[in-house]
């Protein structure tokens, strides 16, 4: 066993498990002229000969790679397609065109892309099969504001929301109620074409109306909720007048609500969850077992402030190290989800690096060197905050390296400066962009 090496291999194996290429190759095939999708023990089958056009559309950070996989699966059956992804997340495709757009703040390319997808959907009839590839990032990448709302208005709203403390559900509620395509509206637009949405989840709970703001799923939120969110964060005066008017008029009924469960728009829609954080966690657990660790998934729904959540991992590590844990050793504890960072300092970092740094600080302040304890936190998209690292890897030697370099990790933590610290100590964890995204993973080994 070589725990630092093992952590690296377990993480990469888990990410490979949720790579769109391997996932789609494993789950989707064409058999006897039908497309067959196997997901979560269920099998879905659709006869391709019923359709004149088979079109692949897609949005999100993984959409180009998902498109590449679908080209391989569909081969000659594929008519054409268009996917919208984030700048720098393209792949080389043959029949499907790739558009790049702005994220997390939407831009004109996102609107152009959405208009194109809207036109394709409107032209589609019952002889068209749309395979819609959905992944995280789609909320910003696929934007078409309601009448009377400009791109600038939408950008301003997104900026205000990102700073407001509103969570992803709340942000998406407002996005859905100012959009012409989100909150299930795309399903209404593509009707009566047959639509199969293939969804890669990056959100905790895998709610289909939350991933990419719910393109082809019934919306659980309402104009009334959108209005109360504006009130809750006192945003009425801070967002553009046009958006406030849309929300207000929606409440009194002039603008139609987003489609709900049971709406006829969804009769021709099938939503299939292709992969999520849990799939990556389970692969990590299996790989851990193969390497000889007694492995357990603690949760795949983790949220919370990164530096505080770190203390939960430190607590479990401490018990294991003292031999008083219910978990057997050598232990691998796996968790996944998406934590948050409240920025108070001026440093550089990401939520995974911040969690790893808080874990280190907790041990350095209270405990003797921890030779048996190894902790990795990293994003499956290979991208932690505005840095070139996926996360950071904390091992026992790091304590001594920190001391010999005369660094003060607590000070770096106070300044949200985890990247600088791990860069100096050589403990950054880099994978490069993975073109998949199922949130973050935490892996804790105690020998």
Contacts to a second copy by CB under 8 A? 167, 169, 204-205, 232, 278, 285, 296-305, 308-312, 314-316, 318-319, 324-326, 335, 337, 362, 365-367, 410
Beta carbons of 243 and 15 less than 8 angstroms apart: no
Nearer to a second copy, 236 or 308 (CB): 308
Nearer to a second copy, 23 or 281 (CB): 281
Nearer to a second copy, 95 or 311 (CB): 311
Nearer to a second copy, 17 or 65 (CB): 17
Nearer to a second copy, 310 or 443 (CB): 310
Nearer to a second copy, 63 or 418 (CB): 418
DSSP string, 406-431: T--HHHHHHTT-HHHHHHHHT-EE--
Whole-number minimum distance, CB 206 to a second copy, in Å? 9
Cis preceding linkage at 104, omega within 30: yes
CA pair distance 330, 335, nearest whole angstrom = 17
Nearer to a second copy, 138 or 337 (CB): 337
Whole-number minimum distance, CB 172 to a second copy, in Å? 12
CA pair distance 406, 416, nearest whole angstrom = 19
Whole-number minimum distance, CB 332 to a second copy, in Å? 12
CA distances from 52 to 102, 132, 266, 280 (A): 33, 17, 21, 37
Whole-number minimum distance, CB 12 to a second copy, in Å? 22
Whole-number minimum distance, CB 402 to a second copy, in Å? 16
Whole-number minimum distance, CB 322 to a second copy, in Å? 8
Whole-number minimum distance, CB 420 to a second copy, in Å? 19
Nearer to a second copy, 246 or 278 (CB): 278
CA 122, 127, 133, 139: dihedral to nearest 10 degrees?
20
Cα angle 188-192-198, degrees, rounded to a multiple of 5: 70
Nearer to a second copy, 335 or 425 (CB): 335
Nearer to a second copy, 192 or 304 (CB): 304
2-9: list long-range contacts, CB under 8 Å, 24+ apart: 3/374, 3/395, 3/445, 3/447, 4/374, 4/393, 4/395, 6/288, 6/291, 6/293, 6/445, 7/374, 7/376, 7/393, 7/443, 7/445, 8/376, 8/393, 8/429, 9/287, 9/291
Instruction: Please name which of 231, 18, 229 lies closest in space to residue 135, comparing C-alpha atoms.
Output: 18
Whole-number minimum distance, CB 319 to a second copy, in Å? 5
Residues paired with 292 in a beta bridge: none
Q: Residue holding tokens 């969690």?
A: 355
State the CB neighbour count (10 A cutoff) for residue 315.
12
CA pair distance 185, 179, nearest whole angstrom = 8
Nearer to a second copy, 224 or 315 (CB): 315
Instruction: Please name which of 147, 224, 211, 142 lies closest in space to residue 181, comparing C-alpha atoms.
Output: 142
Whole-number minimum distance, CB 61 to a second copy, in Å? 23
Query: Environment class of residue 41 by beta-carbon count within 10 Å: exposed (0-12), middle (13-18) or buried (19+)?
Result: exposed
Whole-number minimum distance, CB 88 to a second copy, in Å? 31
Strand order across the 373-379 sheet = 294-302, 331-337, 440-446, 373-379, 391-394, 428-429
Token pair listed for 417? 């400066």
Whole-number minimum distance, CB 140 to a second copy, in Å? 21
CA pair distance 239, 394, nearest whole angstrom = 42
């Amino acid at each position: 066993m070589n725990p630092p090496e093992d952590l690296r291999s377990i993480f990469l194996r888990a990410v490979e498990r949720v790579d769109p290429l391997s996932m789609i190759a494993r789950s989707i095939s064409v058999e006897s002229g039908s497309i067959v999708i196997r997901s979560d023990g269920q099998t879905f089958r659709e006869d391709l000969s019923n359709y004149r056009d088979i079109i692949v559309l897609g949005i999100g950070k993984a959409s180009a790679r998902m498109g590449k996989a679908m080209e391989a699966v569909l081969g000659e059956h594929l008519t054409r397609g268009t996917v919208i992804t984030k700048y720098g997340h393209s792949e080389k495709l043959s029949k499907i065109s790739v558009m790049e757009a702005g994220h997390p703040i939407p831009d004109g390319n996102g609107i152009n892309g959405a208009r194109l997808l809207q036109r394709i959907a409107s032209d589609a009839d019952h002889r068209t099969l749309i395979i819609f590839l959905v992944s995280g990032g789609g909320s910003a990448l696929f934007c078409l504001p309601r009448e009377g709302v400009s791109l600038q208005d939408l950008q301003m709203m997104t900026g205000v929301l990102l700073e407001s403390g509103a969570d992803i559900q709340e942000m998406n509620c407002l996005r859905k109620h100012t959009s012409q395509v989100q909150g299930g509206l795309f399903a209404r637009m593509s009707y009566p074409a047959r639509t199969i949405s293939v969804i890669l989840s990056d959100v905790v709970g895998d709610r289909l109306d939350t991933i990419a703001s719910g393109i082809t799923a019934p919306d659980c939120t309402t104009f009334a909720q959108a209005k109360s969110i504006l009130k809750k964060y006192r945003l009425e005066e801070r967002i553009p007048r046009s958006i406030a008017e849309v929300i207000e008029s929606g409440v009194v009924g002039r603008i139609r609500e987003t489609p709900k469960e049971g709406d006829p728009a969804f009769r021709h829609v099938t939503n299939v969850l292709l992969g999520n954080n849990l799939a990556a966690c389970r692969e990590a657990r299996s790989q851990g077992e193969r390497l000889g660790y007694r492995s357990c998934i603690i949760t795949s729904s983790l949220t919370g402030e990164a530096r505080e959540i770190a203390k939960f991992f430190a607590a479990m590590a401490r018990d294991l190290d003292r031999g008083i844990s219910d978990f057997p050793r050598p232990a691998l504890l796996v968790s996944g989800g998406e934590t948050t960072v409240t920025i108070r300092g001026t440093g550089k970092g990401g939520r995974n690096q911040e969690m790893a740094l808080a874990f280190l600080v907790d041990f350095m302040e209270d405990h003797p060197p921890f030779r048996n304890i190894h902790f990795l936190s990293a994003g499956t998209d290979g991208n932690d905050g505005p840095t070139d690292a996926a996360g950071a890897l904390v091992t026992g030697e790091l304590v001594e390296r920190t001391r010999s370099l005369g660094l003060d990790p607590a000070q770096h933590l106070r300044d949200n400066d985890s990247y600088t610290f791990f860069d100096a100590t050589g403990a950054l964890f880099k994978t490069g962009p993975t073109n998949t995204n199922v949130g973050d993973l935490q892996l804790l080994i105690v020998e």
